[in-house]
Structures are given as C-alpha cells and as structure tokens.
Chains A and B, each alone.
Chain A
C-alpha cells in the first residue's frame, strides 16, 4: 500500500435485488452484514451472503399476518445513535399448553451494528448483546447471575420458537427453529441467555416505554397500552417505598429528639393539691373555689388529675381554671366512674377511679379552681383529690404524628409488595405454586 494514496473509498449502498423465488424486489438495508433476508412476497428465507440469494427455507404464512408495529425501514434514535429497523420476528413459547408470543425488532446502524427491541403485551425492551461474561451462581432451587457487579434473579426458562419473520437478520433465522431462552431479572434490566447447540449468547435488555419508541420512530397513533406487570418492568413503588421510609425514619428521629428535648425541659412540678369530700345526700349549692396557686415559668400545659374512691358509682366534676388577675377561665368537665361486678363470663370492671386531663398553653400567673361536683344522690360520701401539675411533657402528639406518617408508608409498601407479587406470578418461581420444577420462591 503506497502511503498518501489511499484507495478511493467505496461507499456501500443499499442493494436492490430480486427474490429468486418470486422475482419480487428486495433490498439489503444492513449492507453485507445480514446473514438471512426474508422475501415478504413469497415467504422465502434467503441466504443474504450468497450473491444469488439462495433459498434456504419457505414458510407458509399469510402476508401481513403479523404486521410489525415498527415497519421495516423506519428509523429512530436510541441512546444517541440512529438506527433503522431492518428485521422482525415473532417468537412463541408454550406454558402449560398455552402459547405466549413476543416480537423482536432487528435494528441496524452501519457503524455500531445491530441492536434489538422486544415487545410483549405493550412492554418494550432495548436489547443488545453482552461484551462480558455473566457469572452464574447456582443455588438449590434457584439461580442467580452476576453481571458487572449486579445480581439478576432467574425468572423463566422456556423453549422459544420463531413463528414469523420479516426482513433481515444477522444470523441464520428459520421459522420453526426453537432455542432455549432463560431470563434473569433485575428491574429495569433483564439478562437473557439463548442456547443454540452448545453455544450460549447473552444479551441485556433495558425496559423502555412504548411512548419513547413511538416518539423516536415517529410512529402514528398511540403505543399499545402495557398489559399486566412485565418481568423487568421497574416498580413504580420501589423508589417511593425507599423514599417514604427514609422520610419516616428521619421524621421519627426528629420527633424522638423533640420528645427528649421536651421531657428534659419540662418542669413537671406540682402546683396544687387538695382533698375533698362530696356528700351526695347534701342539698343545695355544691360548688366551691380552691385556694389560689401560682403557675410559674413559660406558657405550658397544666395536667389536672382527679383521683376518687367511687365504687359502682360516678362523680361528675365541673371545673373552671380561672386566672385571678385577668379573669380568663378554662372550663371543662370530667366524669369519673368505676363499676365492677360478676356475671356468667366472670368478673368485670368498667371505668376507672382516676382521671387526668391536660390543659394546653396555660400562661403563667395566679390561678384558682372552681369545682362543682355532681352525682346521684343517696350514695353516701365520695372522697376525691385534685392535683394540678405544671409543665408536664405531652407525648400523644408525637404518637399521632408518627402514626400519620406510618399509614402512607405502610400503604406504599403494601402496593410495592403487591406489584412484585404480580411480577413473579408470571415466572417459574410463582409464589403460589408448589410445583417441583423450581422449588417456589427463594430467599
């Protein structure tokens, strides 16, 4: 080769040819890279490497029996590279006697070679062959595969036969030929191994939305709506689940710190205590006021406890907490009742002798209580004691906040589990099945 005088570059062009079977026009879109090409008119599979296009197989199918969603010759850009759809095949597996079919589109770029799109029930995958070997880790009952540090779980092994072909293929395609196909999933990716003879070809698919396909190939109409959950379809809940539990965890820690802060700052001091007797037989005015007491410090809660000796009886206490200086009053009533007895189910009790209530945001100042007890008359005397505690830490708010956060977290988790259940229900490892082939779910 003489330097500086390169061969005039020959520019490969799409070859127009004629089918030796029926004479119909054919073109080789992938230049010389195709191994087989299908005549759409007479359904002959032709040797694309042979200048005479020797007929390798003829198959009986109605023309247009299975029209590809991406017509041969359509171009689109995938990951920045333009590709042309050059081939199409339908592959079918049998599961318990029922045929399931998916479609594979062969894409070609003259510099980057072949790439594939697969479609099943509206679920799409962008697939290319692997450049490194996955590592198989065989365990009892299930198989895992590691590829470039990522672990994939066995999903399904099936015999996939080619049942319809169109266009060009970079391999020896034949209608009726079956290969063992095994899928391992790690959403949104799927690793597939295809065994033909003793050679194994690995490919990796990544879930892609039909909408993206429609946009890049400028297809008319809408993509078919995906049906069900596909093997490597990313769960719409998996990131949500992580996020919400992270938020929940962070919030729980925040609440815990707040609780610790409040309980250490809370004074929790007794401001008032008084013991009283209520004579149910007495007539006339029962209300009275207590001695004034001081509430110190900042605005905080006041916890008012009532402990009584009611026994198969009740007492109702009308309370008013009154600020001596401003006249501001907090009115509230508390019923304390305690009953017990014995019936056919054994002994029972109802209610309690004690009661406690928190009055929030009480400003400091001098206060007194107005108390008005009520009960059924003729029940003798009721002893009761009133205790007021200042600045008592309150934790029920924290519990409510935590619960309010727990509900959506649990809901999303449940939906996520449900989604995974639907995914694996279609696999060889369906959680319901106790069939002997796979040993059921793993982990």
Chain B
C-alpha cells in the first residue's frame, strides 16, 4: 500500500503516502499542508498548532470494522461551541471511511454519493436513504481547526460550515456535510469502542 516517497517542497523531508488515493497530507516535520499534483507535491498551507486533544486514536491506530481491517491515516479537527471533535480518515483494504470521535462517542461512516440531499434541515425532520429512515438530531455550526496526515480531498482553512447529524431507530447514523457548495452525505452507524478492536492507541497518564 505504501507509495514511492516524495519530498516536502518546503523542508525537503521525505513524504510517504500510506494510501494511493490520498489527495492531501501534512508534512510531519514542518506541518506544511501538501496537495498532490500530477507531478509533485504543492504546499497550499500551514497547520497552526493543533488544539490539545484527548482522542484515544492517533495516526497509525489500527482496528477492524465489519471484518475489514483499517488504519487511521489522517484527521480533521473541528471546533464548535461545545469544544472539538475528530474525524479520523480510515483506510480500509478497498476504500476509505471516517471514524468520528466526539467526546469518545464513535461513529463509522462512508461517503454516500448520488442521493438526493436537502440544502438545509431542522431538528426532527426525516429523510430516507437506502430504505432507512433518519431523523435530524443535531444541526451544528463548526469550523476547521486543524488537519493531520492524509485526506481523500483538500481540506484546510475553512470558515464556519454546517453539519447535520441524523439518527435512525436501528442505530444507523448519517451526516450531511455542508463544507462545500454541494452537500455531501455520509452514512454509517455508531459503534462501541470495544467492537473496533483498536490497536496502537494513545495512552493516558494514570490510566492503563
């Protein structure tokens, strides 16, 4: 899965992509945000200091979802009025997914293109995708706070955007992401920490 190395156009450090389809990564040394072009890497921005964060997941954390092993290769940190949450970019053997960690509540979602999506929605409104009925549970205004590692698209320096979270009666979970002009739908489910069988987690002082 590891791709031939390139060098950071900013500091010259070696950059290796874990996933061939990654579009963006962050140089581990100088924290330059790098975007892949056909020929090389282009610096598009700079990560400011990441906010203190206590997600137990980190780049390189491995786990299993639905019998499919995955590794966390990147993340986006969002900030909203209740603090921050993490969207971990997971690479599975044949694609990518997202593991959202909001105050240690875990949700795995996959991008679900091609569905009809609303331009806005209010709490309680219902939508049906793939024969599952979802109700809007929260509408959250959040903004980009930092990135780390590899992402399947360019994401940095965004203003306030809207996220609409939806839940179903069967534990299914949906997020409408209004980061770009066209909303993007992610479908998945909430997961128990143990069920992900995570390895290479962070350790916490005073906790095993």
Contacts and interface: CB of A to CB of B under 8 A. Distances in A.
Contacts of B87: none
A12 B205 contact: yes
Contacts of A7: 28, 58-59
Contact of B205 (A6, A11, A200): A11
Interface in A216-236: none
Main secondary structure on A side of the interface with B: loop
Contact of B83 (A6, A49, A113): A49
A284 interface: no
A1 B167 contact: no
Contact of B74 (A1, A5, A131, A132): A1
A114 interface: yes
A392 B206 CA distance: 82
B36 interface: no
Contact of A110 (B25, B56, B169, B170): B56
A133 B58 contact: no
A283 interface: no
Interface stretch (A18-26, A27-35, A359-367): A27-35
B202 A9 contact: yes
Interface stretch (B14-22, B92-100, B109-117, B152-160): B14-22
A436 interface: no
A199 interface: yes
Nearest to A32: B54
Interface residues of A, number: 37
Interface string B189-208: 01001000000111111110
A155 B195 CA distance: 34
A198 interface: yes
Contact of B167 (A14, A133, A171): A133
A10 B202 contact: yes
A129 interface: yes
A85 B129 CA distance: 40
Question: Among the interface residues A32, A49, A112, A131, which one has the most CB atoms of the partner chain B within 10 A?
Answer: A131
Contact of A111 (B104, B122, B148): B104
B165 to A, nearest CB: 10
B105 A129 contact: yes
A170 interface: yes
Given A7-B59, A113-B105, A33 B83 contact: yes
Contact of A199 (B83, B137, B171): B137
Contacts of A134: 169
Contacts of B201: 111
A345 to B, nearest CB: 69
Chain B contact patch, size range: 35 or more
Given A12-B54, A131-B190, A35 B83 contact: yes
Interface string A152-189: 00000000000000000011100000000000000000
Contacts of B69: none
A32 B82 CA distance: 11
Given A9-B203, A132-B167, A132-B168, A1 B25 contact: yes
Contact of A112 (B5, B138, B193, B200): B193
Contact of A172 (B5, B82, B137): B82
Contacts of A31: 52, 54, 204
B168 A1 contact: no
Nearest to A111: B56
A3 interface: yes
B76 interface: no
A403 B38 CA distance: 90
A14 B201 CA distance: 18
B80 to A, nearest CB: 10
Contacts of B15: 1-2
Contact of B169 (A111, A132, A172, A199): A132
B103 interface: yes
Interface centre among A10, A11, A111 (most CB of B within 10 A): A111
B12 interface: no
B18 A110 contact: no
Given A3-B2, A109-B104, 5 more contacts: A1-B18, A11-B202, A111-B104, A114-B104, A135-B169
Interface of A: 1-3, 5-7, 9-14, 30-33, 35, 49, 82, 109-114, 129, 131-135, 170-172, 198-200
> Which 4 A-B pairs rank lowest in CB-CB distance, beginning with the nearest?
A113-B104, A31-B54, A13-B205, A132-B171
8 contacts: A1-B15, A1-B59, A9-B58, A31-B52, A32-B53, A110-B104, A131-B190, A135-B169
